[in-house]
Chain A
């Protein structure tokens, strides 16, 4: 992320992404601002973008349900870039049944919203991250990067 000049990252806690969130917090090149809800985080990112920074949000796929209105009426309507690094809970290896309920809707919702979506399942999928970030800021669109438990090698 730092390589792509991303310097403003908002996060909502996630067990699967705890290590990433720690790294964001420790990075001297990133202003890390935890938010209490993902739509709030997207508002912060919209402001940071208009202030000249490249933002990103780290969240769980459950947040897609929370943020549809914000994605549509703020990020997409005003045509702003937003990389969404998403913990894709409810996939293979998931121990919590309730997570599957949102997992089965995740890709359908993202498709309905016309959000370019990438699914990181194997370790080498991460090689595309750089191109995905460049793509996001090239086209000024929100882009979803779903990272599942297999990618992170379990919980």
Chain B
């Protein structure tokens, strides 16, 4: 399974929740599969999906799912201790770990080699860390939603991309629509 397969399977499970989606192909794929006002698409700023999601979760009560990648978490490694030490039980960080920088041509990441993001998250103090196979991602997210506990999920999948169009929606429109959904 590649990332887009996971997103397709996952879409109905996350549809009712606030989703902050990582820059590049993940956002483009989610936008193509199931565009919703509850999705915040990142058009730039690699690495900050987890930070935006945590800030959002701390600021209000609705559940927030940040869909991140292994490469992006490596870019913003400082996020894991911040998450661990600022517990928001309405926050789920889903790291889709395909061991590569998918949006830039599938260059390998260190997460695909010796570095375990799940082990790093635990070492940073995150209390509910789940590593799962791509096939088990939907169940892991369902469990995390049901647990009402801040959870970090590392979903190990294969690298690979599908052809998707870029998002042409204006960023202010994305933000305004999303904020409307947050308030609703």
Task: Decide whether A and B assemble into one complex.
Answer: yes
Taking CB atoms and an 8 Å cut-off, the chain B residues in 160-184 that contact chain A are 171-172, 174-175, 178-179, 182-183
C-alpha gap A42/B179 in the complex (Å): 17
C-alpha gap A44/B66 in the complex (Å): 12
Provide the residues of chain B in CB contact with A49, threshold 8 Å. 55, 59
C-alpha gap A39/B51 in the complex (Å): 9
In angstroms, how far is the closest chain B Cβ from the Cβ of A7?
Answer: 8
In angstroms, how far is the closest chain A Cβ from the Cβ of B62?
Answer: 9
Taking CB atoms and an 8 Å cut-off, the chain A residues in 61-115 that contact chain B are 69-70, 72-74, 77-80
- Which of A31, A40, A48, A50 contacts B48 (CB under 8 A)? A40
In angstroms, how far is the closest chain B Cβ from the Cβ of A36?
Answer: 3
Cβ A78 vs Cβ B175 within 8 A: yes
With known contacts A33-B82, A50-B175, A78-B171, A43–B52 Cβ distance under 8 A: yes
- Let me know if A35 is at the binding interface, CB within 8 A: yes
- Let me know if B44 is at the binding interface, CB within 8 A: yes
Cβ A40 vs Cβ B78 within 8 A: yes
- Let me know if A134 is at the binding interface, CB within 8 A: no
Cβ A48 vs Cβ B172 within 8 A: no
In angstroms, how far is the closest chain B Cβ from the Cβ of A140?
Answer: 9
Contact with B along A42-54 (1 / 0, CB 8 A): 1111111111110
Cβ B56 vs Cβ A48 within 8 A: yes
Q: Closest residue of chain B to A47, judged by CB?
A: B55
Q: How many residues of B contact A (CB 8 A)?
A: 33
Provide the residues of chain B in CB contact with A55, threshold 8 Å. 55
Provide the residues of chain A in CB contact with B71, threshold 8 Å. none
- Let me know if A8 is at the binding interface, CB within 8 A: yes
Cβ B45 vs Cβ A48 within 8 A: no
- Among B55, B78, B79, B82, max chain A CB count under 10 A is at B55
C-alpha gap A131/B168 in the complex (Å): 36
- Let me know if B26 is at the binding interface, CB within 8 A: no
With known contacts A31-B58, A40-B78, A52-B183, A78–B52 Cβ distance under 8 A: no
Cβ A47 vs Cβ B57 within 8 A: yes
10 smallest CB-CB distances across A and B, nearest first, come from: A47-B55, A51-B59, A73-B44, A43-B51, A36-B78, A43-B48, A47-B56, A44-B55, A47-B52, A51-B60
Give me 10 other A-B pairs in contact (C-beta within 8 A), A46-B55, A74-B42, A79-B175 excluded: A33-B82, A43-B50, A43-B55, A47-B20, A47-B55, A47-B59, A50-B40, A52-B60, A77-B44, A79-B171
By a beta-carbon cutoff of 8 Å, the part of chain B in contact with chain A is: 20, 40, 42-45, 47-48, 50-60, 76, 78-79, 81-82, 86, 171-172, 174-175, 178-179, 182-183
15 A-B pairs with CB atoms under 8 Å apart are A8-B55, A8-B58, A33-B82, A43-B47, A43-B52, A45-B55, A46-B48, A46-B55, A47-B57, A50-B56, A50-B179, A51-B182, A70-B48, A73-B44, A78-B172
